[in-house]
Structure 1
Amino acid sequence: MSSASDTDRLLAEQLLRLTRRLHRIQKRHMEPLGITPAQSRLLRLVSHYEGGQAPRMADLAARLEVVPRAVTTLVDGLEAAGCVRRAPDPANRRVIRIELTDTGRATLRRLRNARTDAAEEILAPLTGDQREVLGGLLNALSDAPADVPAERRC
């Protein structure tokens, strides 16, 4: 009989393998768009930024949990592709905000389709009932408070 720690190790390995597979498949579906996964994440963040105004580079770095230089590199690539533009803040011209362009919005639509195609590829072996069970399990994992010790979760 397998111990709980053996089961947890096996589940951790399975989750890691699935995550890697999902990233590979998503990357393959996104390659024709010329957008990297990191650029895709930045585009989504800019499009959903709260507060109604375009984010500053520092805001993006904080939300992505990366150094500002990494955001600069991502923005440079997306700006060259016409997906975003740098715009001075009207209240403080020294502050630069990142705005989504029409091309960026169209790219986001194509990226959503690519992510959906990748998910369909991953989920293809599952029946509808299995997908519902998996969805419930994934919700339970994603909604669990991060600060609750594992032995207290039930």
Structure 2
Amino acid sequence: MSSTEPTTSTSDLAEQLVRLTRRVQRAQRHHLKHLDIAVTPAQSRVLRIVDHCGDTPPRMTDLAARLEVVPRAVTTLVDALEANGAVRRVPDPASRRVVRIALTDTGRSTLRALRSARRAAAEDILAPLTAAQRAELGGLLSTLVDGPGKHH
């Protein structure tokens, strides 16, 4: 970089990231509002984690570890998702004392709607970028999310 190019301070970048995150969240809420889905970002993460676990539903402690929160915080999230019919508590076949959290059909359809809203929000926000700019942004984001040298 030449000395004549303007530099962006870390605090400026941090502010831009915060503003972009808020814009993404607003756009996602906009795409969800007609679907009558009331899921918080934390509940959305729980649904994604449960889905990611596939055929072995996670335990509450697994969810707490993945979310980096205390188990009682997960209980509150799971209680709300269970009340909405998105998840259900199921007994562990190996131990009656262990409870696992499984997605319901409602939970799977909620996840599909959330993913669709996220894609639509991203498309709205990325619309001004060229294909080359999107590719560059993708590489930069991969580096930030995964660390240097880990993206493909």
TM-score when scaled to structure 1? 0.81
Residues 20/66 of structure 1: CA separation in 2 closer, same or farther (3 Å cut): same
Residue 70 of structure 1: SS of its match in structure 2? helix
1:66 maps to which residue?
69
Structure 1 distance, partners of 2:79, 2:18, is 31
Amino acid at match of 2:23: R
Residue 96 of structure 1: SS of its match in structure 2? strand
Structure 1 distance, partners of 2:29, 2:41, is 7
1:80 maps to which residue?
83
Structure 1 distance, partners of 2:118, 2:6, is 36
1:148 maps to which residue?
none
Structure 1 unaligned spans of 5+: 146-154
What's the % identity of the aligned pairs?
64
Structure 2 unaligned spans of 5+: none
1:150 maps to which residue?
none
Structure 2 distance, partners of 1:126, 1:2, is 21
Deviation digits for residues 44-99 of structure 1 (CA, Å, limit 9, x no counterpart): 0001026x411111110111011112111111111111111001111111111101
- The alignment yields a C-alpha RMSD, in angstroms, of 2.1
Structure 1 distance, partners of 2:31, 2:72, is 27
Give the CA deviation at 1:8. 2.5
Is the contact made by 1:30 and 1:36 (CA closer than 8 Å) also made in structure 2? no
2:56 is equivalent to residue 53 of structure 1: yes
Is the contact made by 1:27 and 1:37 (CA closer than 8 Å) also made in structure 2? no
Amino acid at match of 1:101: T
TM-score when scaled to structure 2? 0.82
